[in-house]
Amino acid sequence: TVDNPTFLSMTPDGTLIYANSEVFAWREGTVTAYRFDRATNSLAYINKQPSLGSITAHNTITRDGSKLLVANYGMGSGGPDKAVAVFG
């Protein structure tokens, strides 16, 4: 499950979905990945990763689907270097 999902993105090919968890009490947010099966309209959990900052607000996927960029809005996340996390 995803705690307080606040933003979803799907890869251009429609096979992966990423969900942010934005929980104010947490020191660090998370991003959860799911595989989407169009034939059955079902989701399969892949993994969950820390977002490297707090209050994980938005995410986007590069046009080629190779990278996920995550915006952390929390104060005290460690400075600008933790405002955006890149996965991929």
Q: For 82, phi and psi rounded to 5 degrees?
A: -110, 10
Residue 51, φ and ψ in degrees, nearest 5:
-90, 0
* Per-residue pLDDT tens digits for 45-72: 999 998 887 788 889 999 999 999 888 8
Residues sharing a CB contact under 8 Å with residue 48, sequence separation 6 or more, in sequence order? 30, 31, 32, 33
This model's pTM is above 0.85 = no
CA distances from 84 to 10, 36, 64, 75 (A): 18, 25, 19, 13
Residue spans of the domains in the chain: they are 5-87
Per-residue tokens: 61: 């996927």
Lowest mean pLDDT among 25-29, 38-42, 58-62: 25-29
